[in-house]
C-alpha cells in the first residue's frame, strides 16, 4: 500500500514537471510583448557613436598668428579634445574664405578677421548663432568687455574673439609742459575745449593734431566720440540701424568737427598728412594735444611730460568717465558653420580658440584682452596702467561704428571727412552725402 502511494506520488510529480515544461515553452518571454500589447520593444544595441571630425580654418597672415596657431591653439585643441579628429588649415588670402562661402563648403570652425568677410557668410546662412551656446555654457561670463559679445543688428552673435584690441580706445593726450607754460587749464567741457583751442591759436600754437589723412580720425572715432559726449544713445541707435547720418544728433556731432576746422584747430593741410607726421608734431612738443587710440601709448610711455585727459563732455548729463569706445569689429573672430554635423563640439572648439588667443596675447605680448584668460599682466607702465584703469571703470563700452560701415560708406567717409577737416564742406553737406551712400547699401 505504501509502495502504491509512492508510485502515485511519483506520477503526480512527473505530471506536474511535464505541465510546467510545456507551459514554459508556450508562454511568451517576459521581455517580449504579446501581440497587441502597448509595452515598449527592447532597445536595439546602440550603434557606436560617430567620431567627431572637425575642419578648423585659422588665419596665418603674419608671424604673430602663425606662432599663436602652432604653439597655443592647435596643440591645446588636440590635448583638450583627444577624441576629436582635427583637420587644420591656415590661410593668408581672404579669397580662400570667400571661396568656401560661395561653394557652401565652410569648415566647421573658421576665423574671419573683418566684417566684410563675415557678412557674406551671414547673408548665405552659413554662420551659426553662437549667443545661445555661450550663454548656456557660461563662456559669455569670461568677457570683461561685454561689447565684444554684443549681438549683430539682427540679434544674433556670429563670431567670438579674444578682444585682443578691445582695450584700444580713443584718448586725448596732452603735453603737460605746454599747458603749464601758457597758463592754460585742461578743458572738461566742449565749450572749454573750444576756448582752450582759441587761446593756443591766439598764441600762435596749433592746438590739436590727429591722424587726419583722408579724414581717418573722423571715420575711426571723432564723430562717434562727439556724439557720445552729447548723448551716448545716438551711438547705440546708429549701431542698431535706427538712425542714419542725416539724423540731427549725428549732424550735430559732425558740426563740432566743422567748428574746430574753421577756427584752425587742426594743422594746415592735415587731411594730406601721413600718420607719422601727425604724431611727431605732438612728440616734438609742437602741439599741446593729440587725439588717437591707445595703440600709440608705447610712443609716450617714457615721456613723463605726456598724460591724457577725458574727452570733454557736451551735455551736463553725460559723465565721460562712464563711456568709452572699445575698438574691434562685431563680426570678427571665430565662427561656426551652420552646416556642421557637430555643432556643439564645434562651438566648444571655437571657444577654446578664442581663449587660447587671449592667453597668447596676455603672455607673449603683455597685451590686454577683453576675454579673461586668467593671466595677470603686471608689467604695465604708469600711463598704460592709468589707461587700463580708466577703461575698466567706464561702465559703458560702446562698439566702434566704423566696423559696421559698408565698403562704399568707408570710401565716401574718407572723401567727405577730408573735405570737412579742410573746411571745404559743411557738416550738413557731408552727412547728406554719406546718408545717400549708406542707403544705397
pLDDT in tens, 254-270: 999 999 999 999 998 88
Q: Is residue 114 situated within a structural domain?
A: yes
Q: Is residue 24 situated within a structural domain?
A: no
Q: Give tens-digit pLDDT for 111-144.
A: 998 888 899 999 999 999 999 999 999 999 999 9
Are residue 192 and residue 217 in the same domain, yes or no? Answer: yes
Nearest to 146 by CA among 391, 336, 338: 391
**Contact predicate 398/324, CB 8 Å:** yes
Q: Give tens-digit pLDDT for 327-358.
A: 887 789 999 999 999 999 999 999 999 999 99
Percent of the chain exceeding pLDDT 70 equals 89
Residue 48: what pLDDT? 55
Are residue 317 and residue 334 in the same domain, yes or no? Answer: no
Its domain, for residue 87, covers 53-166+329-373
Q: Is residue 313 situated within a structural domain?
A: yes
Instruction: Compute the average pLDDT of residues 17-42.
Output: 37
pLDDT at 400 over 50: yes
Are residue 407 and residue 261 in the same domain, yes or no? Answer: yes
Residue 128: what pLDDT? 98
pLDDT at 21 over 60: no
Q: Is residue 92 situated within a structural domain?
A: yes
The three cell numbers locating residue 331: 563680426
Higher pLDDT, 21 or 292: 292
Band the pLDDT of 153: cuts 50, 70, 90.
confident
Higher pLDDT, 225 or 33: 225
Higher pLDDT, 178 or 3: 178
Q: Give tens-digit pLDDT for 267-320.
A: 988 888 888 999 999 999 999 999 999 999 989 989 999 999 999 999 999 999
Are residue 137 and residue 245 in the same domain, yes or no? Answer: no
Residue 30: what pLDDT? 36
Q: Give tens-digit pLDDT for 362-381.
A: 999 888 999 999 999 988 89
Are residue 92 and residue 207 in the same domain, yes or no? Answer: no
Q: Can you give the three-state secondary structure of the chain, one letter per residue?
A: CHHHHHHHHHHHHHHHHHHHHHHHHHCCCCCCCCCCCCCCCCCCCCCCCCCCEEEEEEECCCHHHHHHHHHHHHHHHHHHCCCCEEEEEEECCHHHHHHHHHHCCCCCEEEECCHHHHHHHHHCCCECCCHHHHHHCCHHHHECCHHHHCCCCCCCCCCECCCCCCCCCEEEEEEHHHHHHCCCCCCCEHHHHHHHHHHHHHCCCCCEEECCHHHHHHHHHHHHHHHHHHCHHHHHHHHCCCCCCCCHHHHHHHHHHHHHHHHCCCCCCHHHCCHHHHHHHHHCCCCCEEEEEHHHHHHCCCCCCEEEECCCECCCCCCHHHEEEECCCCCCEEEEECCCCCHHHHHHHHHHHHHHHHHHHHHHHCCCCCECCCCCCCCCCHHHHHHHHHHHHCCEEEECHHHHCCHHHHHHHHHHHHHHHCCCCCHHHHHHHHHHHHHHC
Alpha-carbon distance of 170 to 176, in angstroms, equals: 18
Alpha-carbon distance of 133 to 340, in angstroms, equals: 15
Are residue 115 and residue 208 in the same domain, yes or no? Answer: no
Burial class (CB in 10 A: 0-12, 13-18, 19+), 317: exposed
**Integer distance in angstroms from the first to the last C-alpha of the chain?**
114
Are residue 202 and residue 253 in the same domain, yes or no? Answer: yes
Instruction: Give the total number of structural domains in the chain.
Output: 2
Are residue 336 and residue 301 in the same domain, yes or no? Answer: no
The pTM for the full model equals 0.79
pLDDT at 7 over 80: no
Are residue 195 and residue 293 in the same domain, yes or no? Answer: yes
Residue 114: what pLDDT? 83
Q: Give tens-digit pLDDT for 95-105.
A: 899 999 999 99
Are residue 215 and residue 356 in the same domain, yes or no? Answer: no
Higher pLDDT, 192 or 32: 192
pLDDT at 397 over 80: yes
Q: 9-23, 49-63, 321-335: which range is least confident on average?
A: 9-23
Q: Is residue 45 situated within a structural domain?
A: no
pLDDT at 68 over 60: yes
Q: Is residue 1 situated within a structural domain?
A: no
Are residue 142 and residue 284 in the same domain, yes or no? Answer: no
Are residue 318 and residue 362 in the same domain, yes or no? Answer: no
pLDDT at 237 over 70: yes
Q: What is the CATH number of the domain that holds 343?
A: 3.40.190.10
Higher pLDDT, 50 or 162: 162
Q: Is residue 362 situated within a structural domain?
A: yes
Looking at every residue in the chain, the average pLDDT score rounds to 88
Q: Is residue 424 situated within a structural domain?
A: yes
Amino acid at each position: 500500500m505504501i509502495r502504491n502511494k509512492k508510485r502515485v506520488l511519483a506520477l503526480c510529480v512527473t505530471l506536474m514537471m511535464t505541465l510546467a515544461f510545456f507551459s514554459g515553452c508556450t508562454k511568451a518571454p517576459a521581455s517580449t510583448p504579446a501581440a497587441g500589447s502597448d509595452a515598449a520593444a527592447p532597445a536595439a544595441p546602440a550603434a557606436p557613436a560617430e567620431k567627431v571630425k572637425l575642419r578648423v580654418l585659422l588665419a596665418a597672415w603674419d608671424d604673430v598668428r602663425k606662432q599663436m596657431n602652432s604653439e597655443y591653439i592647435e596643440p591645446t585643441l588636440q590635448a583638450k579634445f583627444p577624441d576629436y579628429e582635427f583637420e587644420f588649415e591656415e590661410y593668408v588670402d581672404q579669397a580662400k574664405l570667400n571661396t568656401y562661402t560661395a561653394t557652401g563648403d565652410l569648415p566647421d570652425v573658421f576665423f574671419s578677421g573683418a566684417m566684410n568677410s563675415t557678412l557674406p557668410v551671414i547673408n548665405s546662412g552659413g554662420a551659426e548663432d553662437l549667443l545661445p551656446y555661450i550663454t548656456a555654457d557660461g563662456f559669455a561670463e569670461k568677457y570683461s568687455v561685454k561689447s565684444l559679445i554684443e549681438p549683430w543688428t539682427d540679434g544674433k552673435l556670429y563670431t567670438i574673439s579674444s578682444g585682443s584690441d578691445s582695450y584700444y580706445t580713443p584718448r586725448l593726450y596732452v603735453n603737460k609742459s605746454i599747458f603749464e607754460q601758457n597758463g592754460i587749464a585742461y578743458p572738461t567741457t566742449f565749450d572749454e575745449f573750444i576756448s582752450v583751442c582759441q587761446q593756443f591759436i591766439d598764441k600762435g600754437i596749433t592746438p590739436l593734431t590727429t591722424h587726419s589723412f583722408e579724414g581717418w580720425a573722423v571715420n575711426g572715432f571723432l564723430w562717434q566720440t562727439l556724439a557720445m559726449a552729447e548723448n551716448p544713445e545716438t551711438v547705440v541707435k546708429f549701431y542698431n540701424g535706427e538712425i542714419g547720418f542725416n539724423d540731427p544728433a549725428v549732424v550735430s556731432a559732425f558740426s563740432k568737427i566743422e567748428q574746430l576746422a574753421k577756427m584752425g584747430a587742426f594743422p594746415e593741410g592735415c587731411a594730406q598728412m601721413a600718420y607719422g607726421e601727425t604724431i611727431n608734431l605732438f612728440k616734438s612738443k609742437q602741439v599741446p594735444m593729440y587725439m588717437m587710440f591707445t595703440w600709440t601709448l608705447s610712443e609716450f610711455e617714457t615721456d613723463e611730460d605726456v598724460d591724457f585727459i577725458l574727452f570733454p563732455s557736451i551735455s551736463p548729463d553725460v559723465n565721460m568717465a562712464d563711456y568709452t569706445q572699445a575698438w574691434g569689429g562685431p563680426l570678427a573672430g571665430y565662427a561656426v558653420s551652420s552646416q556642421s554635423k557637430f555643432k556643439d563640439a564645434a562651438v566648444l572648439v571655437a571657444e577654446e580658440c578664442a581663449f587660447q588667443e587671449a592667453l597668447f596675447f596676455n603672455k607673449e605680448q603683455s597685451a590686454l584682452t577683453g576675454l579673461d584668460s586668467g593671466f595677470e599682466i603686471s608689467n604695465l607702465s604708469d600711463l598704460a596702467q592709468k589707461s587700463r584703469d580708466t577703461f575698466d571703470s567706464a561702465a559703458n563700452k560702446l562698439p566702434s561704428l566704423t566696423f559696421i560701415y559698408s565698403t562704399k560708406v568707408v570710401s565716401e567717409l574718407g572723401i567727405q571727412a577730408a573735405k570737412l577737416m579742410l573746411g571745404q564742406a559743411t557738416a550738413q553737406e557731408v552727412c547728406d552725402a554719406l546718408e545717400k551712400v549708406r542707403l544705397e547699401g
